[in-house]
A and B are shown apart, each in its own frame.
Chain A
Amino acid sequence: MKQFDEGLQEDSSVNVSTGAGRLGRRTFLLQGGAAAATVAALAGLPYALRRELTRETSFVLFSTEQQNVVSAVQEHLFPNSPNSPGAADINAAAYLEWAITAPGISPDTRNTIVNGVGRLQDASRERFDVTLTGLNDGQSEQLLRYLADKTRWGRAWLSLMLYYIFEALLSDPVYGGNPNEIGWRWLQHQPGFPRPPADKIYGKLR
């Protein structure tokens, strides 16, 4: 099989099309300092311990306001419907938090995600005088569509947010997303075998 894809490991669209990884450095320092410290503290912990910590405290990466924004955006991007799971059904928010605090994640990717939350809030205040969680569905759509179509950082950020939704939807449930194989069942996807046991997942293989 030929491997043509650039950026197979993460989301090629981010770096290839926008170079967004380099955009957010200053913003990150201004807005994400506390988050960065949390990320650094979590990054070295074993998976099980980190999961335990994050489960107990719900989120430790984002502030409560940021958590709410992340969840709202994910639900907007991937809404629940009668016959298909939405972002909350696939644990998308908790999965994202795990994914961007896991060892080996690119700081650029992590910064892009974290910075994006702050930038989105700024953009929301600028256009509507309220933060994203105060917008109605139409306003959210209007704002996100504007950011995706008209701004490089917005396009990169939303692309990455979608990417991690897909990971939460379709990775093995051992990682915390796709509970009870809900994503696989919805898309009638047949997983391969053998499936990974908890002690042989990414980060534990060496």
Chain B
Amino acid sequence: MIDCDVCVVGSGAGGGPIALTLAEAGYSVVVLEKGPWFTEQDFFKDEIACCRRNTYSRNLREEFHVVEEYDDKKGWIARPTYDSSWDFWNGNMVGGSSNLMSGFFHRLKPKDFRLLSEFGAIDGANIVDWPISYDELEPYYAKVEHEVGISGRVVNHPNQEPRSTEDFPFAATVEHPVASWFDRASERGGLYSIPVPRAILSRQANGRGGCQYSGYCGSYGCSSGAKGSSRAALLNRAVASGNCDIRANSHVFRLDSDERGRVVSANYYDENGAAAAINAELFVVACQAVETSRLLLLSRGPRHPQGLANNHGQVGKNLLFAAGGAGTGTFLYDKLDPEKAAQLKIRGPFVNRALQDWYYIDDEEMGRLKGGTIEFLFRHPNPIGRANRQKWESDRLLWGQPLKEKLKSHFRDAGYLRFETFSDWLPNDNCNVSLDADLKDKWDTPVARIKIGNHPHDLKVGRFLARKGYQMLKDMGADRASWSVSGKPPVNLIAGGCRFGTDPNKSVLDPDCRAHDVENLYVTDGSFMPTGGSVPYTWTIYANAFRVADTMLAELGGLRARSSLGESNDSRLGMVA
């Protein structure tokens, strides 16, 4: 018995486009999401709930990861995250971590699809070309601009990627006065100031409010619906179609497959902790990179003894993060003229500026290599986190009046502009996901073991870009500026593990993101990416998921008259005209 046409595991940026496209086309879709279903009525600017406790993630004593890192003295060291407090859950709720993103949206560039061909092999890195081109994804980048809602302003610059439409469907969000400081400094330096597209509505549209400019965005859920989360932008519409059932608090622990190797059911624990199952014709896994690989590895079957889609041992390999560094510029109010100081104190609007002048580097010393994006933004306003960082003076704890003076000066005397650089995290044999041999979660299921190895090349590129970011802050008039580059990954920028490709021996998914050896299984989160490019991943994940949705639609037989979930047993795949 079939419960629905399509079962989607995970409701974030990889799952939302599938659910919307197929539900609106008349197919019955069930989305299983392990987290709760929050709405705009549940999101507040509350640092405790948002960012100091695990409201949007899991209790690390119950559900955790094991992280393996390289120590120069001790070699590879594995440590469970309940011990380290290093939280790799990025937003377990309907809409996933897209609820909490900042929404800096950049497309990949055509050369990102041919990294190997364009820049050649690098020892110790598993660089490959993508099996599709930019041109194949471009219509879906354009589609995301409308479906998710991207605001911005196209300007000509040497690294502007080709576009099928002239400009964004939504005008740019309100820009902070500091953006003009940036523009002037860029002009002086002969650089191209790029207005950053945002997945944030600048005006009310599609039943969602426009941005309210509270000054808190990244890490927070959006209370107006302006942020283009999978939930606000896509899933609400999927549900409105009458064909999409979202089951929150439903944790999928295994996919069962039959003698033919096809997936037949998704087994999950429901909101009461009871085991349940969904049978479907097609299955989509989109649980974010780590948990997607983990679920496949946990799902052994008669034709998949090493885990689903893992007959060539590729699941979990070539995990990606975003490489790069960051820096901060301190602008002392009393060193600025009063007008500029007043400008800097304005809270709410966005800086929305980036540099891509070094997306490709051709440097005398460095040679020709792939570079990246430098994104400029204000320091996050979360005061508890900021205060907590002031308690250290070098390696010494501060307290008493010296601490209070430092706090007062930090908060009252200066504004802070930051930059973050984004560059390729080169895929390598030391960065992957496997099942931990010993430790299990509260469901008695082996947890994911995340091995984090970075390639030295990443640090080289990161340092190059960070120095450029640092120089920009100085050129803008920062009294003090600093930069740093680390091999530690940002946990919210994660992809790979189930790379797509044409060779089943070297990839998990085919170019349509269908598992090579499982004909009714697709993976549509960032896992498919064989290389990550030099931008945040979310726009690309959305675009690719819309692309795969069209493939699935074609497989299912194209548009169909509206059906309801109650009728789905009679209108299943194969019975469609």
**In the complex, A159 Cα to B397 Cα: how many Å?**
7
| B47 partner residues in chain A, CB cutoff 8 A | 170-172
State whether B85 touches A205 (Cβ < 8 A). no
State whether A191 touches B85 (Cβ < 8 A). no
Name which residue of chain B comes closest to A167, CB basis: B384
Separation in Å of the B389 CB from the closest CB of chain A?
9
**In the complex, A45 Cα to B490 Cα: how many Å?**
36
| A2 partner residues in chain B, CB cutoff 8 A | 322, 324, 326, 420, 490, 492-493
**In the complex, A158 Cα to B388 Cα: how many Å?**
12
Q: Does A33 contact B (CB under 8 A)?
A: no
Name which residue of chain B comes closest to A7, CB basis: B85
Number of interface residues of B (CB under 8 A): 67
**Contact partner, A190, options B41, B57, B87, B347, Cβ 8 Å:** B347
Interface string of B64-104 (1 = CB under 8 A from A): 00000000000000000011111100000000000000101
State whether B383 touches A187 (Cβ < 8 A). yes
**Contact partner, A15, options B41, B51, B83, B377, Cβ 8 Å:** B83
State whether B59 touches A171 (Cβ < 8 A). no
**In the complex, A78 Cα to B400 Cα: how many Å?**
5
Name which residue of chain A comes closest to B82, CB basis: A106
State whether B84 touches A205 (Cβ < 8 A). no
**In the complex, A163 Cα to B398 Cα: how many Å?**
12
**Contact partner, A193, options B42, B45, B491, Cβ 8 Å:** B45
Q: Does A192 contact B (CB under 8 A)?
A: yes
**Contact partner, A9, options B53, B324, B490, Cβ 8 Å:** B53
Interface string of A159-192 (1 = CB under 8 A from B): 1001100110111101100000001101111111
State whether B403 touches A78 (Cβ < 8 A). yes
**Contact partner, A189, options B41, B383, B388, Cβ 8 Å:** B383
Q: Which residues of A (128-185) have their CB < 8 Å from a CB of B? A: 141, 144, 148-149, 155, 158-159, 162-163, 166-167, 169-172, 174-175, 183-184
Separation in Å of the A166 CB from the closest CB of chain B?
4
**In the complex, A167 Cα to B55 Cα: how many Å?**
16
- Of listed B48, B57, B385, B412, residue having the most chain A CB within 10 A: B48
Q: Does A11 contact B (CB under 8 A)?
A: yes
Separation in Å of the A193 CB from the closest CB of chain B?
5
State whether B411 touches A166 (Cβ < 8 A). no
State whether B326 touches A205 (Cβ < 8 A). no
Separation in Å of the B395 CB from the closest CB of chain A?
9
Name which residue of chain B comes closest to A162, CB basis: B391
| B82 partner residues in chain A, CB cutoff 8 A | 106
Q: B122-130, B193-201, B209-217, B229-237: which one contacts chain A?
A: B209-217
| A201 partner residues in chain B, CB cutoff 8 A | 46, 48-49
| B180 partner residues in chain A, CB cutoff 8 A | none
State whether A9 touches B396 (Cβ < 8 A). no
State whether B54 touches A188 (Cβ < 8 A). no
**Contact partner, A81, options B215, B399, B401, B488, Cβ 8 Å:** B401
**In the complex, A77 Cα to B51 Cα: how many Å?**
24
State whether A106 touches B61 (Cβ < 8 A). yes
State whether A79 touches B401 (Cβ < 8 A). yes
Name which residue of chain A comes closest to B410, CB basis: A187
| B42 partner residues in chain A, CB cutoff 8 A | 200, 205
State whether A11 touches B384 (Cβ < 8 A). no
Name which residue of chain B comes closest to A155, CB basis: B397
**Contact partner, B397, options A12, A106, A158, A169, Cβ 8 Å:** A158
Known: A3-B219, A188-B411, A205-B49. 4 other contacts (CB 8 A): A81-B404, A171-B48, A190-B381, A196-B45
Interface residues of B (CB under 8 A from A): 36, 38, 41-42, 44-49, 51-55, 57, 59-61, 82-87, 102, 104, 212, 214-216, 218-220, 223, 322, 324, 326, 347, 377, 380-381, 383-385, 387-388, 391-392, 396-397, 399-401, 403-404, 407-408, 411-412, 420, 486, 488, 490-493
Task: Show 28 A/B contacts (Cβ-Cβ < 8 Å), sorted by A.
Answer: A1-B380, A4-B486, A4-B490, A6-B86, A7-B84, A8-B51, A10-B85, A22-B83, A77-B403, A78-B399, A78-B404, A104-B53, A158-B397, A162-B399, A163-B391, A167-B48, A187-B383, A187-B412, A188-B411, A190-B347, A191-B45, A192-B45, A196-B45, A200-B44, A201-B49, A202-B55, A205-B49, A205-B55
Which 10 residue pairs across A and B have the least CB separation, nearest first?
A192-B45, A7-B85, A192-B216, A1-B218, A2-B490, A187-B411, A196-B44, A196-B46, A202-B49, A170-B383
